[in-house]
Amino acid sequence: MKLRKGFVSNSSSSSFVCDICGGIESGWDLSYSDVDMTECSKGHCFHYGCLSKKDKAIIEAGVKGDEDKEPDEDDDDDDGEEDIIPTELCPVCQLRVVSDNLVQKFLRMKSGKSLDQLGDDIRAEYKNSSQIDEAFKAFEEKVDKKK
């Protein structure tokens, strides 16, 4: 996800949030290549370093095969050098990587509850967010051991 705040006419502060690791890169007039990230046409963005070997290979092969074609119409201003990958190559679009956002949507549908109801469930069990963090840490350790 790319967040951009316009500032003065030719300079802007941008933040990129990696859809894989959740890391945030921000700076002035940042382009994806500055932080070794790429974006798909649906707006997912991620570090190259966060991709699996397989996903890197898929993207590299796909981008190469695509070079002859004209790039899609881009309403963005002057970032011509940023290549945006099509959704067919995007690991997030293709569910090869499942982002927190998708997990949340999936689990909410599975629970069949509204956000308010889930909030009530959470508040019934935990007093504050650090209690949840601690419980989650213990949970993750248990799950990792099972692998």
C-alpha distance from residue 65 to each of 43, 82, 116 (Å)? 21, 17, 47
Site for Zn ion in 20-39 (CB under 5 A): 20-21, 23
User: For the sheet containing 2-8, what is the strand order?
Assistant: 2-8, 11-17, 24-28
Q: And the tokens for 84? A: 């945006």
CB of 25 to Zn ion, least distance (A): 9
Asked whether position 42 contacts Zn ion by CB under 5 A, the answer is: yes
Asked whether position 51 contacts Zn ion by CB under 5 A, the answer is: no
Instruction: State whether residue 114 is helix, strand or coil.
Output: coil
Q: Which residue in the set 39, 93, 97, 99 belongs to the binding site for Zn ion (CB under 5 A)?
A: 93
The residues binding Zn ion (CB under 5 A) are 18, 20-21, 23, 40, 42, 44, 47, 50, 90, 92-93
